[in-house]
Amino acid sequence: MNTKTSSGVDITDWRPEDEQFWESTGKRIAYRNLWISVPSLLCGFAVWGMWGIITVQMLNLGFPFTQAELFTLTAIAGLAGATMRIPASFLIRLAGGRNTIFLTTSMLLAPAIGTGIVLQHPEWPLWSFQLMALWSGVGGGNFASSMSNISTFFPKRLQGT
């Protein structure tokens, strides 16, 4: 298996199922990558899922959109996130886990800040909110690619622990 560590080093020999290898080398690298990825996973999932909460509050705060229009924002974020999982997963193999997670986590700043801005302007058109919901889908890609990247570092008995 050829994979990259969080420090960008290619690993050409990775045997997490080999107990001796796991204890001497694998465990340290796997857990280091996990702890580096945890904040990224949290941010990705939060930005991806925030529209489920925001739309309900927009309805309660009197934004000038119908209930159906507001709930499409949640659907847009969900569909965009599901779609972004595909290229983000391939990007791990092309650019390495560290680079992909750094890029997609950095990209989360735009929908997070942009959403804060559009929410301050209830008079803005629906498409501006839809654009932010669409952009939030990067969080879904980030979450999925980070999870798939991390799981390969652990033996099957520890995956998902």
Q: What is the pLDDT of residues 143-158, one digit of tens each?
A: 877 777 788 888 888 8
Instruction: Compute the C-alpha angle 85/158/94, nearest 5°.
Output: 35
CATH superfamily of 41-152: MFS general substrate transporter like domains (1.20.1250.20)
Burial pattern 121-155, b for ≥16 Cβ within 10 A else e, equals eeeeeeeebbbbbbbbbbbbbbbbbbbebbeebbb
In this prediction the pTM is: 0.78
Q: What is the pLDDT of residues 105-142, one digit of tens each?
A: 888 999 999 999 999 999 999 999 999 999 998 888 88
The pLDDT of residue 128: 96
